[in-house]
Amino acid sequence: MHTLETLQTQIRSIEELRAVVRTMKALAMVHIRQYEQARTSLTDYNHTIELGLQALLHHRHFSETQISLPLTTPPKHHGLVGIILFGSDHGLCGSFNEQIVAYALAQLHHRQIPPDRRLVAAVGARLIPHLETAHQPIQATFSLPSSLAGSLQLIQTLLLTIEQWRFRQHSDQVTATSDEITEIPHSYMEYILLFYNQHLSTTAYQPFSLQLLPLDRVWLHQLEQRPWDSAARPSLSMNWEPLFSKLIRQYLLISLYRATVESLASENAARLTAMQTAEKNIEERLTLLNAEYRQQRQNTITGELLDIVSGFEALKTS
């Protein structure tokens, strides 16, 4: 049986832990709010990029000279596949990293992409143990920013890595921004895929995948066929192909930015859920300890009263 002093120590320790959990809950909620605002801004900016692409494709559709899309699609199931996987650098977020790794590996298996064709860039140190457990080699590792302000540096680094992957046929090896440099025997990059958790609500998220490159021709065709809201057709002030390339670079940037923001928001949603569960368990434990403490204290008081009564009775009979 615990003594009163032991119970008091346990109660104080758990109350301190509850204060930490509540602080982490508050921080997670603040971060989620911040990332939700960023998601809204990114949605608006992405809509602007789509309008620009739609205007260009409309100009191409109605142009007197045939303009071909500057896109290349290599033969399928022969080239390398670049994979950017977003996780977390910090713990206390439940099975957040395990879920996205399991989802990514299942999708790659479904696409029939064997491990020897995969170039994996892990964004978040917590992904590494799960990938190693699955015997999936990692070609590059990156740290997540601690705030939105640091996201641009990560995105620029990822864009540089993608460029090195795409044009690696001009060199014998990939010079990634990680600690490891891995030689790759294939001659071209077939796909660039993103895997990240998509934020749904304050405490909900789901795994999501996006084919970053090559661009989805069906999507481009839908943009080209989408009705233009204005009666005036769009006009160009510069050559078509350079403008198209600039818009595509913006599209790539915004896609990576959105993946980063979605993953960070989902990480905090997972942490909030974990902290809510922890707080519930702490409250239940405190209830039990306080009840045990009150019972123990009552027993102690009762024992002291019985000793007093017994001593008084002994004095009366003596």
How far apart are alpha carbons 134 and 138 in whole angstroms?
A: 11
How long is the chain?
318
How far apart are alpha carbons 194 and 211 in whole angstroms?
A: 6
pLDDT computed for residue 108 by the predictor: 95
How many other C-beta atoms lie within 10 A of the C-beta of residue 41?
A: 11
What is the three-class DSSP state of 211? strand
Q: Which residues in 189-226 are b (16+ Cβ under 10 Å) and which e? A: bbbbbbbbbbbeeeeebebbbbebbebeeeebeebbee
CA dihedral 222, 224, 229, 231 (to 10 degrees): -150
Task: Summarize the confidence of residues 56-65 as an average pLDDT.
Answer: 74
Percent of the chain past pLDDT 90, that is, above it, reads 50
Q: Is the peptide bond before 207 cis (omega within 30 degrees of 0)?
A: no
Type of residue at 217: R
Task: Summarize the confidence of residues 211-233 as an average pLDDT.
Answer: 85
Contact assessment for residue 273 and residue 94, using Cβ atoms and an 8 Å cutoff: yes
In what helix (H) or strand (E) does residue 212 lie, and over which residues does it extend?
A: strand 204-213
Percent of the chain past pLDDT 70, that is, above it, reads 87
Q: Which residues in 151-179 are b (16+ Cβ under 10 Å) and which e? A: beebbebbeebbebbbebeeeeebebebe
Q: Is the pLDDT of residue 177 over 90?
A: no
Q: pLDDT by residue (tens digit) across 96-133?
A: 999 999 999 999 999 999 998 999 999 999 999 999 99
How far apart are alpha carbons 314 and 318 in whole angstroms?
A: 6
Q: Where are the domains of the chain?
A: 34-273
Contact assessment for residue 128 and residue 91, using Cβ atoms and an 8 Å cutoff: no
Q: pLDDT by residue (tens digit) across 160-175?
A: 999 888 776 444 444 3
pLDDT computed for residue 128 by the predictor: 95
Task: Summarize the confidence of residues 26-55 as an average pLDDT.
Answer: 91
Tokens representing residue 58 in the block: 């409309």
How far apart are alpha carbons 120 and 81 in whole angstroms?
A: 8
pLDDT computed for residue 224 by the predictor: 84
pLDDT computed for residue 122 by the predictor: 96
Q: Is the pLDDT of residue 62 over 80?
A: no
CATH (one of 3.60.70.12, 3.40.1380.10, 3.30.70.20, 3.40.50.10680) for 34-273:
3.40.1380.10
Rounded to 10°, the helix 4-62/217-225 angle is 60
pLDDT computed for residue 173 by the predictor: 42
